[in-house]
Amino acid sequence: MKVAIQGARGSFSEAAAARVWTDVELVPCREAAHVVAAVRDGTADAGILPVENSIVGSVTATWDVMLEAFEGRAMRLTEEVLLPVRHALLAPKGAEAGKLRRVLSHPVALGQCRRWLAAHAPAAELVAEWDTAGSAEIVAQLGDPAVAAIAPAAAAGALDVLADGIQDDPSNQTRFLAFSRDGAITDGPRKTSLVLRLDHRPGMLAAALQAFAARGVNLTSLQSRPEPAAPWTYRFYVDVEGDPAVPPLLEALESVEALAARAVVLGCYRAATPGAAPAPRLSRPEIPLHDRRRFPAGTVVRVGSVEIGGPAPILIAGPCSVESEEMIQRTATAVAAAGARMLRGGAFKPRTSPYDFQGFGAKGLRWLAEAGRRAGLPVVTEVMGWEDVPLVARHADMLQVGARNMQNFALLRALGRCGRPVLLKRGAGATVEEWLMAAEYVLSSGNPDVVLCERGIRTFERATRHTLDLNAVVLALQRTHLPVLVDPSHAAGLRALVPALAMAGLAAGAHGVIVEVHPDPDRALSDGAQSLDLEAFERLARRTREAG
Ligand code: PEP
Ligand code: MN
């Protein structure tokens, strides 16, 4: 096996090659472009090049050379190698670090030892050479005790090792990519490298990255490089986990290729670290995942230490919107003392009018999470768009899908991967079947922790905001193993109706109640008319305990 490397014998590239192939006959080359050329013209069977270092970052020249070489598919990437890199200071006999005038090495190696050199060889000029082991050869030929090289200790030959392990961080590693003309990949986890050029418009990079994010494809590296022929525009080198021939990366790449001005897959290769398992193909199960026949005893969903779906009905309480730090703190303390087990509060508010208060967004999330933490209550809050799922999941214990979003399938799919339980409200115009199939989206996307919530449907009746559909509560309890809650606040729209509807929901078999509570409902920024004040909530909580 003839393998082209950049550098001399004894270099880190040789060590990297030894990790991929046995019985290697080296073809040492001075530059990355020569390594690629040697493989393309058949001088070597395969090549290996350093692409990134954990201290100094990308070896940008290599990526640019690879783009040119791999675009035509004359050869293919095959394997990634992560090589621990330990540097030594090598010099002729009699040399002392403090007296060195010049230190030679590959610029990447000099960069990895900058702090050590500043402390121990402060007078030395750092001289960039083509290779680490190659620098050791030059130093040996010069024989001048004022000139040293940084290279692997194994490349010392007749030189002295003045110091070993001089890299600035002990975890120093270099990432190599191997390639060959036939491109055969051995079994194992896969990674894929690609290059994107995007139109110079707002949101294009975000949209490209979202194509991966929406399908749960993990990005492992992203770099931008200037486009030499068009100053101040950029190309993006992207590494992702997965194989472009297999979902989910297959589907993500279809989107990215349709979106980008240019998209070139440099190759797919065996990853050095555990990569992503391909997503199992979604096939229709014999019995739907939400169906009660799967778990006749019912499912208990755990939110922190709270169990929803067990024998004890739970109360979730809090304001429609988080309005300030003090207000949510005060409400949390009061509802916790009254017997609520979870705190609710909206930070992203779906409002009918775009001119109404829209919620405090990320700031509101932080206030809510802190109030819940201090009161010892897990928190639930609405997420309105799939792009906000990671943000909301970072701060909330449970993510709410609002009635208006019940059939936002992109959001439901994203919640399948959010790692948090989901509270799925029923759409005001959705049938029970549509509601259960919305839950099926979350379940089939990988999240088993779904709680349903009946919050009133639209009927001909205008005297109340909506109509609490207890038929649907009983029916859902018969048809699904998932827990079911009622939200009497949004159903009624009037606080005077809320306690009776809450009790009715529990009598129908609901596993709990979620109600809006505000310290000063008449001054609430949203849904004040349906919000209980703190005393009314305390009375409701007592009533539910007495009934249970
Ligand atoms: C809410 O919980 O404040 C809310 C907006 O609910 P729904 O989506 O049920 O209207
Ligand atoms: Mn509300």
- At 18-28, the pLDDT tens digits run 999 999 999 99
Best probe residue, ligand 1, of 383, 454, 490 (max atoms within 8 Å of C-beta) = 490
Q: Please write the tens of the pLDDT for every residue from 406-451.
A: 999 999 999 998 999 999 999 999 999 999 999 999 999 999 999 9
* CA of 351, nearest ligand number: 1
Please give the distance, rounded to the nearest whole angstrom, from the Cα atom of residue 531 to the centre of ligand 2.
8
User: Cα separation of 491 and 485, whole Å?
Assistant: 12
- What is each CA distance from 364 to 229, 370, 490, in whole angstroms? 46, 10, 21
User: Cα separation of 433 and 164, whole Å?
Assistant: 69
Q: Please write the tens of the pLDDT for every residue from 262-300.
A: 999 988 999 997 666 666 667 899 999 999 999 999 999
Beta bridge partners of 190: 270
Q: What is the pLDDT of residue 279?
A: 64
DSSP string, 421-448: -EEEEPPTT--HHHHHHHHHHHHHTT--
Q: 349-355, long-range: CB within 8 Å, 24+ apart, which pairs?
A: 349/320, 349/321, 349/382, 349/526, 350/382, 350/384, 350/402, 350/404, 350/405, 351/526
Please give the distance, rounded to the nearest whole angstrom, from the Cα atom of residue 460 to the centre of ligand 2.
21
Best probe residue, ligand 1, of 455, 467, 515 (max atoms within 8 Å of C-beta) = 455
Please give the distance, rounded to the nearest whole angstrom, from the Cα atom of residue 316 to the centre of ligand 1.
13
Q: What is the pLDDT of residue 334?
A: 98
Q: What is the pLDDT of residue 277?
A: 64
What is the pairing mode between strands 379-382 and 173-180? unpaired
Please give the distance, rounded to the nearest whole angstrom, from the Cα atom of residue 494 to the centre of ligand 1.
14
Domains annotated for the chain, with CATH where assigned, are 1-84+168-184 (3.40.190.10), 88-164 (3.40.190.10), 187-281 (3.30.70.260), 308-344+380-547 (3.20.20.70)
Do residues 349 and 383 make contact, with C-beta atoms less than 8 angstroms apart?
no
- What is each CA distance from 425 to 97, 327, 385, 451, in whole angstroms? 70, 25, 15, 9
The closest of 28, 3, 1, 42 to 177, measured between CA atoms, is 3
Question: Ligand 1 within 6 A of 320 CB?
Answer: yes
Please give the distance, rounded to the nearest whole angstrom, from the Cα atom of residue 366 to the centre of ligand 1.
20
Q: Tell me the two tokens of residue 334.
A: 């009061």
Please give the distance, rounded to the nearest whole angstrom, from the Cα atom of residue 517 to the centre of ligand 1.
13
Exposed, middle or buried: residue 354 (CB in 10 Å: 0-12, 13-18, 19+)?
exposed
Please give the distance, rounded to the nearest whole angstrom, from the Cα atom of residue 258 to the centre of ligand 2.
39
Best probe residue, ligand 1, of 316, 382, 411, 424 (max atoms within 8 Å of C-beta) = 382
**Spans of the chain, pLDDT less than 50:** none
Q: What is the pLDDT of residue 275?
A: 62
Do residues 381 and 325 make contact, with C-beta atoms less than 8 angstroms apart?
no
Question: Ligand 1 within 6 A of 455 CB?
Answer: yes
Q: Tell me the two tokens of residue 425.
A: 């409200």
Cα within 13 Å of Cα(46), Cβ side: 25
Q: Which atom of ligand 1 is nearest to the CA of 526?
A: 3
Q: Which atom of ligand 1 is nearest to the CA of 321?
A: 3
Question: Ligand 1 within 6 A of 490 CB?
Answer: yes
User: Cα separation of 116 and 105, whole Å?
Assistant: 14
User: Cα separation of 511 and 483, whole Å?
Assistant: 6
Helix then strand then coil, in percent of the chain rounded to 5, is 35, 25, 40
Question: Ligand 1 within 6 A of 346 CB?
Answer: yes
Q: What is the pLDDT of residue 159?
A: 97
Q: Which atom of ligand 1 is nearest to the CA of 527?
A: 3
Q: Determine which helix (DSSP H) or strand (DSSP E) holds 369, and give its type and residue range.
A: helix 361-375
User: Cα separation of 423 and 253, whole Å?
Assistant: 32
